[in-house]
């Protein structure tokens, strides 16, 4: 890779997510050379992917060109590349566009959907961790209704209008709520010749409550909200398989459905080349010390979802969300400068700003440190916080315009099948 | 196709473009059953596709769900289907989702890119008539610059940054102008480590002036504008081939380029099954009489780009643009009702509202019947007219927000490679 060496140390960041960007911004005016690598040329605001899947927002309004993040700063390089392997002994990266040497390496690759080795689920289920995946899901949802119009077999029709969402975390809850609102507000108008009352949305949670990373109060209220919207919440149910037609569970409960969305697990998106077999902690994450240093590799750091900083207080590391990634990125930015200046590093101290999830219009749940609240105010807080963290002024305005429009009109207009999802519907014809 | 027959005559419209929508709207409260078929579930505002290709607008903001067009009207059906063949003797359509009978059929299938049988150009050139094609072109443009960063061979780098646009009509002119503005306003900031001054934009016109459907004054001024923006305008040059690397012309002039955009011709997107070999007129269009009736088929009509209504005044039919399609759709809506009521039909009378093209910020050309003007005011008129004809309030607001932002910031933020275009760059490595 033809990036000139400067007299400053070279810090290579793999991944332009929340962590990678926060770190790059912190390093922007320092005496270092920063190389940011990502397999996409954009940053994706993952918390709003479910709105892309459900036609509420365009993909471009929750994505931001990575080249713009550090526009105008010297000694900053972006390359569109996939990292194939780290060679820590040579301080080298092998990538899809050639090799690159580093002085310090930061792995900020985030997380990917975890199917826990179930290849059937992986093949037939839909994941929703990237923009292309969300667009695929949007297409599939819309195609299912177009297909439902074509059949006279009511079993088939029900299966096409039956949505199974596995995983009762924020992603599953938010997607289930959005689908329920589409069922109520859009389907009867769009499909007057289809009995869309028969559409069902199932949210399946293996544990005994949804949003189990939040307070019991939030879980309870979110479940109330979902039930009010008509979502069927199944707790204590563990999905075992899906052949594209029938969802099986550990008991003899089954669901006939053309759509299974898998939001039941994530794992760290690790990079090959690190000898960390012993160190991989919960969910394929890289074990890091309190300075986000990958254990055993003093020049390699990991931040965000892919990093697992185990402490007595947090034996499973920090939650795999935007906030720890952003805070670790900022802290590491300072620590890297300290490291280069041979000053002692400062340990990471996480400030829990709370968590929230939205279920539908006027319906959200918020857990702050000293205050838990639900309903309309929580929903406004949720929107404000998401607009605030969205990157780019234009994105904020466009998202805001869409939200206002969707709120007033009970509508979601980005429901276009721009990227057809090729589903084999023949299996429903038996 | 399970669409119930009503007591009213069934009018089937193939295609939800400008013509099909105008017709459907005109028929919305009449005593007819309307079935609209389209292979996409959205209407696409084609005049702004070049802004999608160049990152100025999101695809969703120039598209509109077809199901929304006639929401709430009785006896209106939409089906996502591709029409394979018309069986006029049985008044039947064979489609990708089954057969459908009609009483009256309207072919409003629009036009498609015409490569005039040159398969090499078709395989290696980029068309820009649909949203997926525009997104492919957007990806290719961006990927070329990422690729240009990776090479030390300056011939290859120049070819990657060299854009050849064939066709000096509004599409070619608008795309060339937009690329020139990207070169000036965005590339130097996005690619500080690339000498983007070497990027070249070539607009090739076979005739002796660009915008040859407009006034000489407009042609001249548009060419001035393009030259001011740094576009190389080649007149009297006829492109003969493109192998993905070298653009050949009828003379020994060649261009080394990774991107050829073919905007040099369109043809009617006709449907199989009509015995019209004798009647196909200029550019594969269906010959229609003054009531838009396809010659030889009293129950079949054609409107818009696919129709060619030859008159003494217009031996080649009407221009293949939005206005004739909209006006014919409206007129045919009235005529179909008259036909059913056994009243005499009214002949189509085209009102030429003029034409316009934009070259860049503050630079457009307008030809009205009694007034021709160019520059800033023309540019404002162009924007106002396009916002006015764009379908959907949300689309108008989102497009307006983007235009204001792009104008103030000299920016185009929708420059994401969401749909990678897999280009084989190996041929540049010889």
Contact B417 A41 (CB under 8 A): yes
Chain A residues near residue B411 by CB distance under 8 angstroms: 394
CATH number of this structure's domain A10-113+266-340, picked from the four choices 3.40.630.30, 1.10.260.40, 3.50.50.60, 3.30.930.10: 3.50.50.60
Over 80: is that where the pLDDT of B113 sits?
yes
Contact A417 B79 (CB under 8 A): no
Interface of B with A in 172-211 (CB under 8 A): 189-191, 193
pLDDT in tens, B185-228: 999 999 998 999 999 999 999 999 999 999 999 999 999 999 99
Chain A residues near residue B401 by CB distance under 8 angstroms: 394, 397-398, 401
Confidence label for B284 from pLDDT (cuts 50, 70 and 90): confident
Give the DSSP H or E segment for A383. helix A376-389
Class of domain B119-264+361-428: alpha beta
* Residues A136, A128: Cα–Cα separation, whole Å: 9
Q: What is the mean pLDDT of chain A?
A: 94
Contact B60 A394 (CB under 8 A): no
pLDDT in tens, A206-227: 999 999 999 999 999 999 999 9
Interface of A with B in 100-129 (CB under 8 A): none
Question: Would you state the pLDDT for residue A421?
Answer: 85
Question: Would you state the pLDDT for residue A428?
Answer: 79
* Residues A328, A348: Cα–Cα separation, whole Å: 7
Question: Would you state the pLDDT for residue A70?
Answer: 79
Burial class of residue A29, CB neighbours in 10 A (0-12, 13-18, 19+): exposed
Mean pLDDT along residues B221-238: 97
Over 90: is that where the pLDDT of A162 sits?
yes
Question: Would you state the pLDDT for residue B266?
Answer: 93
Chain A residues near residue B38 by CB distance under 8 angstroms: none
Q: Does A67 lie at the interface with B, CB-CB under 8 angstroms?
A: yes
The runs of H, that is alpha helices, within A300-341 are 322-340
Question: Would you state the pLDDT for residue B276?
Answer: 75
Give the DSSP H or E segment for A140. helix A131-148
Question: Would you state the pLDDT for residue B279?
Answer: 52
Confidence label for B278 from pLDDT (cuts 50, 70 and 90): low
Q: Does B404 lie at the interface with A, CB-CB under 8 angstroms?
A: no
Confidence label for B430 from pLDDT (cuts 50, 70 and 90): low
* Residues A179, A198: Cα–Cα separation, whole Å: 13
Provide the shortest C-alpha distance from residue A4 to chain B (in Å). 10
Contact A401 B405 (CB under 8 A): no
Q: Does A236 lie at the interface with B, CB-CB under 8 angstroms?
A: no
Over 80: is that where the pLDDT of A342 sits?
yes
Question: Would you state the pLDDT for residue B201?
Answer: 98
pLDDT in tens, A289-299: 999 999 889 99
Contact present, A70 and A11 (Cβ < 8 Å): no
* Residues A13, A29: Cα–Cα separation, whole Å: 16
Over 80: is that where the pLDDT of B300 sits?
yes
Q: Which member of B3, B65, B417 has the closest CB to residue A40?
A: B417
Mean pLDDT along residues B6-17: 96
pLDDT in tens, B80-90: 999 999 999 99
Q: Which member of A98, A413, A417 has the closest CB to residue B40?
A: A417
Q: Which member of B1, B58, B98 has the closest CB to residue A58?
A: B58
Chain B residues near residue A416 by CB distance under 8 angstroms: 40-42, 59-60, 63, 65, 131
Percent pLDDT > 90 in chain A is 86
Contact present, B61 and B395 (Cβ < 8 Å): yes
Question: Would you state the pLDDT for residue B280?
Answer: 59
Find the catalytic residue in A112, A143, A174, A223: A174
How many CB pairs below 8 A link A and B?
Answer: 139
DSSP state of A386: H
pLDDT in tens, B240-255: 999 999 999 999 999 9
> For residue A189, how far is the Cα from the chain centroid?
31
Residues forming beta bridges with residue A302, ordered by sequence position: A107
Confidence label for A111 from pLDDT (cuts 50, 70 and 90): very high
Q: Does A400 lie at the interface with B, CB-CB under 8 angstroms?
A: no
Q: Per the structure block, which two tokens stand in for A243? A: 């052949």
Mean pLDDT along residues B359-381: 95
| Chain B interface test: which of A6, A34, A149, A423 (most B C-beta within 10 Å) | A149
Cβ density class B329-364: b for 16+ within 10 Å, e for less:
bbbbbbbbbebbeeeebeebebeeebbbbbbbbebb
Q: Does B156 lie at the interface with A, CB-CB under 8 angstroms?
A: no
Chain A residues near residue B72 by CB distance under 8 angstroms: 189
Contact present, A125 and A143 (Cβ < 8 Å): no
| Chain A interface test: which of B34, B394, B395, B422 (most A C-beta within 10 Å) | B394
Contact present, B186 and B58 (Cβ < 8 Å): no
Whether B10-39+81-113+266-340 shares its CATH topology with B119-264+361-428 is answered: yes
- HEC string of chain B? CCCCCCCCCEEEEECCCHHHHHHHHHCCCCCCEEEEEECCCEEECHHHHHHHHCCCCCHHHHEEEHHHHCCCCCCEEEEECCEEEEEHHHCEEEECCEEEECCEEEECCCEEECCCCCHHHHHHCECCCCHHHHHHHHHHHHHHHHHHCCCCCHHHHHHHCEEEEECCCHHHHHHHHHHHHHHHHCHHHHCCCCCHHHCEEEEEECCCCCCCCCCHHHHHHHHHHHHHCCCEEEECCCEEEECCCEEEECCCCEEECCEEEECCCEEECCCCCCCCCCCCECCCEEEECCCCEECCCCCEEECHHHEECCCCCCCCCCCCCHHHHHHHHHHHHHHHHHHHCCCCCCCCCCCCCCEEEEEECCEEEEECCCCEEEEHHHHHHHHHHHHHHCCCHHHHHHHHHHHHHHHHHCCCCCCCCCCCCCCCHHHHCC
Q: Does B5 lie at the interface with A, CB-CB under 8 angstroms?
A: no
Burial class of residue B91, CB neighbours in 10 A (0-12, 13-18, 19+): middle
Q: Which member of A63, A398, A418 has the closest CB to residue B132?
A: A418
Question: Would you state the pLDDT for residue B277?
Answer: 63
Phi, psi of A202, deg, nearest 5: -110, 130
The correct answer on CATH 3.50.50.100 for the domain covering A119-264 is yes
Mean pLDDT along residues B368-382: 94
The sign of the dihedral angle between the CA atoms of A207, A208, A209, A215 is negative
Contact present, B245 and B389 (Cβ < 8 Å): no
Question: Would you state the pLDDT for residue B2?
Answer: 82
Greater pLDDT, B130 or A423 = B130
Q: Which member of B77, B143, B419 has the closest CB to residue A193?
A: B77
In Å, what is the CA distance from B258 to each residue of A35, A167, B420? 27, 45, 15
Chain B residues near residue A43 by CB distance under 8 angstroms: none
Helices B170-185 and B216-228 sit at what angle, rounded to 10 degrees?
20
Q: Per the structure block, which two tokens stand in for A272? A: 């090959």
Chain B residues near residue A418 by CB distance under 8 angstroms: 42, 59-60, 63, 131-132, 135
Over 90: is that where the pLDDT of B429 sits?
no
Q: Which member of B41, B80, B394 has the closest CB to residue A405?
A: B394
pLDDT in tens, B63-112: 999 999 878 888 899 999 999 999 999 999 999 999 999 999 999 999 99
Locus of tokens 């309207």: B106
Helix (H, G, I), strand (E, B) or coil at A319: coil
Q: Taking the domains of chain A in order of start, what are their residue ranges?
A: 10-113+266-340, 119-264
* Residues B270, B294: Cα–Cα separation, whole Å: 12
- Residue numbers of B annotated as active site: 174
Contact present, B425 and B258 (Cβ < 8 Å): yes
Question: Would you state the pLDDT for residue B282?
Answer: 65
User: CATH topology for B10-39+81-113+266-340?
Assistant: FAD/NAD(P)-binding domain (3.50.50)
Question: Would you state the pLDDT for residue A279?
Answer: 52
Provide the shortest C-alpha distance from residue B273 to chain A (in Å). 24
The sign of the dihedral angle between the CA atoms of A396, A40, A94, A116 is positive
* ipTM for the complex shown: 0.92
């Amino acid at each position: 890779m033809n990036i000139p060496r400067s007299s400053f140390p070279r810090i290579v960041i793999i991944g332009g997510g929340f962590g990678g960007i926060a770190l790059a911004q912190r390093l922007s005016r320092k005496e270092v050379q920063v190389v940011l690598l990502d397999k996409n040329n954009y940053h994706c605001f993952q918390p709003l992917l479910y709105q892309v899947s459900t036609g509420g927002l365009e993909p471009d309004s929750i994505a931001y060109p990575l080249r713009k993040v550090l526009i105008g700063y010297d000694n900053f390089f972006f390359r569109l590349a996939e990292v194939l392997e780290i060679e820590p002994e040579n301080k080298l990266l092998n990538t899809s566009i050639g090799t690159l040497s580093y002085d310090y390496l930061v792995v900020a690759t985030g997380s990917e959907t975890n199917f826990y080795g179930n290849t059937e689920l992986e093949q037939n289920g839909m994941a929703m961790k990237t923009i292309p995946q969300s667009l695929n899901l949007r297409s599939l949802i819309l195609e299912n209704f177009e297909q439902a119009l074509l059949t006279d077999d009511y079993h088939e029709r029900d299966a096409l209008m039956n949505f199974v969402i596995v995983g009762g975390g924020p992603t599953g809850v938010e997607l289930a709520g959005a689908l329920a609102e589409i069922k109520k507000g859009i389907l009867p108008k769009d499909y007057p010749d289809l009995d869309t009352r028969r559409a069902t949305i199932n949210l399946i949670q293996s544990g005994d409550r949804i949003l189990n990373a939040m307070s019991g109060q939030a879980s309870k209220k979110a479940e109330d909200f979902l039930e009010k919207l008509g979502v069927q919440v199944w707790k204590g149910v563990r999905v075992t398989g899906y052949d594209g037609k029938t969802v099986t569970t550990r008991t003899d409960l089954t669901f006939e459905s053309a759509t299974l969305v898998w939001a039941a697990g994530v794992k760290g998106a690790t990079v090959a080349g690190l000898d960390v077999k012993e160190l991989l902690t919960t969910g394929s994450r890289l074990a890091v010390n309190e300075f986000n240093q990958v254990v055993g590799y003093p020049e390699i750091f990991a931040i965000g979802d892919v990093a697992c900083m185990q402490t007595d207080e947090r034996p499973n590391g920090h939650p795999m969300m935007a906030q720890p990634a952003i805070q670790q990125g900022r802290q590491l930015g300072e620590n890297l400068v300290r490291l280069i200046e041979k000053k002692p590093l400062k340990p990471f101290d996480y400030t829990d700003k709370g968590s929230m999830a939205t279920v539908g219009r006027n319906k959200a749940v918020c857990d702050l440190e000293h205050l838990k609240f639900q309903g309309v105010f929580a929903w406004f807080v949720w929107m404000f916080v998401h607009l605030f963290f969205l990157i780019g002024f234009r994105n904020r305005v466009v998202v805001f315009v869409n939200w206002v429009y969707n709120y007033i009109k009970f509508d979601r207009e980005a429901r276009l099948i721009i990227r057809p999802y090729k589903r084999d519907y023949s299996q429903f014809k038996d």
